[in-house]
Amino acid sequence: MKSAIRKYWPQYRWSNVFAMINNMQRHPRRNTESFRDRLVVITGATAGIGYHTARKYAAMGAHIIMVNRNPEKSDQVRRQMDEEFGAMTECVIADLALLADIQRVGQYILSLEEPVGVLIHNAGVHFASRTETPEGLEANFVIHYLCPLIITKMLMPKYRRDRTGRIILVSSEAYRFAVWGLDLEDLQWKKRRYSGVKAYGAGKLAQILSMHVLAKELAPYNVTINAMHPGVVRTESGKDNGILYQWYKKNIIDKYSGSPESSAEALYYLGASPEVTHTSDQFFHLTTEEELAPPARDLAAAEALWNTTRELLREKGVAL
């Protein structure tokens, strides 16, 4: 910890924080061009940001593949979008906290003949207490970091063949809660006292660091990858957490939050606008490019995380 403080403290600038605050006042840029007959894959699309983003792309003529956990809600959303927009919509049911399901989703998308115009890694969670998956991994770490990483890595042969596509990581300014970077020796929060906010921030920081590694690999295939903060919006995230968090969410978070439709507009702009066709490895606050805080732009940390992750997944029988 002391070495991390010495490393990052001199790099922090108040201007970075003020820019973030200023960006909170901005409305997202909008794109009105059609996305007709192009494929969009989005995870976590039965509620909140994912739901409204799927609707936005469907309204603009896209084919939609939703990757959701709940089959009943998925079918309801699918039928709704078919009735309202005549959209070609497909549901893939998977629990993205499970490595086997993550790989099954990646394999299915890889098998598609149709190029993936936009892949939106949106699925997210917030846990007040440490939650472990059947594989013995911290669930927040799996859903926010391992899931997008594994699926994207599995799709490399497809991107190599299709030579097109955009990938968007629905991230969060909460990555800043990992003020001194990641603890590579305790990514699963087994040695430290678990903090829901800090663990969430660490998961999002890991996600952003993986973006730097993936962007280099994707660049030769004309595929971009960017992360975006969707604004402070009302969602169902954390709805199953404890009473204290429920009170905080209802009286503080939701009270001062905006609409998820604004996030959907931003995700459509980043996925469809010609203005960002060649933009990659960037962090957006909605649609405004924003400089990352020091731990999130540490390329050496990104490489170290990748090496640690590859070894972790190898132990779980997952080869990247």
Provide the CATH number for the domain around residue 129: 3.40.50.720
214 found inside a domain: yes
pLDDT score, position 250: 56
Residue 237's pLDDT is what? 52
Mean local confidence (pLDDT), 105-127: 97
Q: Is 266 a member of any domain? A: yes
Is residue 235 very low, low, confident or very high in pLDDT (cuts 50, 70, 90)? low
For the chain, the domain total comes to 1
Domain housing 174:
2-315
Q: Does residue 234 register a pLDDT over 80?
A: no
Q: In angstroms, rounded to a whole number, what is the distance separating the alpha carbons of residues 80 and 317?
A: 39
Give the tokens for residue 293.
């805080």
Q: Is the pTM here over 0.75, yes or no?
A: yes
Residue 320 lies in a domain: no
pLDDT confidence of residue 253:
54
Determine, yes or no, domain membership for 154: yes
| CA 11 – CA 300 distance, rounded (Å) | 15
| pLDDT, tens digit, 9 for 90 and up, residues 49-61 | 999 999 999 999 9
139 within a domain of the structure (yes/no): yes
Q: Contact, 89 vs 82, CB < 8 A? A: yes
Q: Is the pLDDT of residue 248 over 50?
A: no
For CA atoms 227, 296, 237, 130, the dihedral sign is positive
The answer to whether position 135 is within a domain reads: yes
How much is the mean pLDDT over the chain? 93
Find the helix packing angle between 99-111 and 147-154, rounded to 10°. 30
Q: Is residue 274 part of a domain?
A: yes
